[in-house]
Amino acid sequence: MLDIKFIKENPDLIKEAARKKHLDFDVDAFLEVEQKRVSLIGEVEGLRAKQKKVGEQVARTGTSRDKVSVMKELKDMKDELQEQEAKLTEVMKEWQGLMLQVPNIPDVSVPEGGGEPDNQEVLIKGAPPKFEFEPKDHIELMTKLQMIDLERGTKAHGFRGYFLQNAGADLSWAVWNYARAFFSKRDFRPFVAPAILKKEFFYATGHLPREAEDLYKTQDDDYLSGTAEVPMMAYHGGEILNEADLPKRYLAFSPCYRREAGSHGKDIKGLIRVQEFFKLEQLIICRADHAESEKFHEETNKNYEDFIESLGLPFRRVLICGGDLGGNKVKQYDTEIWFPSQQTYREGSSAAYYHDFQTRRFNIRYRAENGKPRFAHSLNCTAAATPRLLAALVENYQQADGSIKVPEALVPYMDQEVITSPHGQESPRAT
RNA sequence: GGAGGGGUGGCAGAGUGGUCUAAUGCACUUGUCUUGAAAACAAGAGUCCGAGCAAUCGGACCGUGAGUUCGAAUCUCACCCCCUCCGCCA
């Protein structure tokens, strides 16, 4: 959400933002509604002021004859007030609906473009591994090594279900623990965050109404979050923070749920696209300063790239174009990791900043030097998302005999340098 | 799940139908005193919306929403959250 004053003073910027983001939003129509809103507020407030004064008179009036005439005046006024209030309620509803659609202003460095194909590759790092053999995909590798069981995953969960087991489960814990240590060294405070959250917070982050189809819902009208961004923003909701305590730097672990509705044809098997996964997320709340937002955006993105590099994985940085940016963001990088089986890069993280677009809706402020509360800035970026990251690791570290070399950084967390066979013995499945 | 108590400004906490323009304390800002600081004393100070160049003025806000009333922090209803006790439970 943007400041209504800002919108009124800069309608052309909003128009330009909508154009660049390829969003269908009629700024002029919105401004008309805004004008209606302001004039109705004026009328209603004027009537209320009158009503108060007359009410006081009633309390003081002595004779009953005086009372009768004043009461009649009041009655008429009340009827009018009710009528205007009803109108205002209606206009407010429309206004609020439109306010949710006003797009955030994209940064000048965001490239033009209508969608994913127009995103720009701005950095490539790490050479894809060269294999003396035909590399296998993670499904084959991990199934053979009994690191995953997709068949039983589907039996238990349904479409896109999976079990991690043996070295597969160990590898998952190793990545989490390594990531926790890695990001703690970079001054992030660790959290384990809830995923079942109240509906309102999804509007505040901007996930609703846009992604309603992609969210799971409970019978209590709560939603399951697809990212710890939502609980970590809700964490400080409605608070006034001390400027001296900024920036807040959080590393939040949470389960993540995404229905993946509308992508049934994509990645139909394996660990690339699942409906339940686990993620560590970097989240920063900082002072309302563009330079600071930009600085932390670059930093969090670099943190992830450094993390991936320390795991020895090839990756590239993609600058997201206007049409693929989403209404709420100022700018976004995706880090994509190399998958040998697909001979392509797949998304591993997403780093975005929002200015005060989210904090305005969450009502997260801080007391600035002049003593006045100000809306803070917020930004977030993936730190480690499993099991997709596990798939990248096994594919890039596979060896000719089908075993997996454990990346050096993870060895201390695995107690194992090569994954060759399952920990425990399991008798063949009776059919 | 059952019973009871509660939600008031940055924090603590009074207020149970009409000068509430929300007491008081802490914290905060400024001033006096002091070499400086502390202490003491004095004054100021909530948030949001709207009008105005401005001093200022109007309105809203006491968990959220609806209602009763000429008038609601105060009464009624629903919901959310917190605390205490009981039950269940990893």
Q: Which tokens in the block code for residue A87?
A: 């109108």
Distance A139 CA to B26 C1' (A): 63
CA distance A8 to A6: 5
Residue A63's pLDDT is what? 47
Distance A392 CA to B80 C1' (A): 44
From the list A253, A295, A257, the residue with the least C-alpha distance to A384 is: A253
Nucleotide nearest to A5 (CA to C1'): B49
- Listed by range, residues with Cβ under 7 angstroms from strand B are A 4-5, 38, 41-42, 45-46, 48-49, 51-52, 54-56, 58-59, 71, 74, 78, 89, 240, 371-373
Nucleotide nearest to A374 (CA to C1'): B47
User: Residue ranges of the alpha helices (H) in A61-166?
Assistant: 64-99, 138-144, 150-157
CA distance A189 to A251: 6
| Contact by Cβ (8 Å): A369, A384 | no
Q: How confident is the model at residue A245 (pLDDT cuts 50, 70, 90)?
A: confident
Nucleotide nearest to A51 (CA to C1'): B70
Q: Residue A411: which residues within 8 A CB-CB, separation 6 or more?
A: A417
Strand-strand pairing, A248-257 and A189-192:
parallel
Tell me what ipTM this predicted complex has. 0.82
Chain B nucleotides near the protein (CB, 7 A): 10, 18, 28, 47-51, 58-60, 66, 70-71
Q: Which residues are A281's β-sheet partners?
A: A252, A382
Residue of least CA–C1' distance to B29: A371
In order of A195, A198, A223, the CA distances from A219 in angstroms are 15, 12, 9
Give A24-69 pLDDT, tens digit per residue: 999 999 998 888 888 888 888 888 877 777 776 666 655 455 556 6
Residue of least CA–C1' distance to B10: A240
Residue A428's pLDDT is what? 54
Residue A68's pLDDT is what? 60
pTM of the predicted protein model:
0.91
Catalytic residue numbers of A read 258, 273, 347, 350, 388
Cα pseudo-dihedral A181, A396, A297, A97, rounded to 10: -110
Nucleotide nearest to A42 (CA to C1'): B50
DSSP string spanning A223-275?
A: EE-SSTHHHHHHHTTT-EEEGGGPSEEEEEEEEEE---TT-TTSS-SSSSS-S
CA distance A229 to A281: 7
Q: Which tokens in the block code for residue A156?
A: 């238990």
Judged against a pLDDT cut of 80, whether residue A70 lies above it is answered with: no
Give A126-184 pLDDT, tens digit per residue: 999 999 999 999 999 999 999 999 999 999 999 999 999 999 999 999 999 999 999 99
Give A351-380 pLDDT, tens digit per residue: 999 999 999 888 888 887 767 788 899 999
Distance A396 CA to B39 C1' (A): 70
Give A292-304 pLDDT, tens digit per residue: 999 999 999 999 9
Judged against a pLDDT cut of 80, whether residue A78 lies above it is answered with: no
Distance A164 CA to B88 C1' (A): 32
Distance A362 CA to B3 C1' (A): 36
Examine residue A106 and say whether the peptide bond preceding it is cis (omega within 30 degrees of 0): no
Distance A369 CA to B35 C1' (A): 29
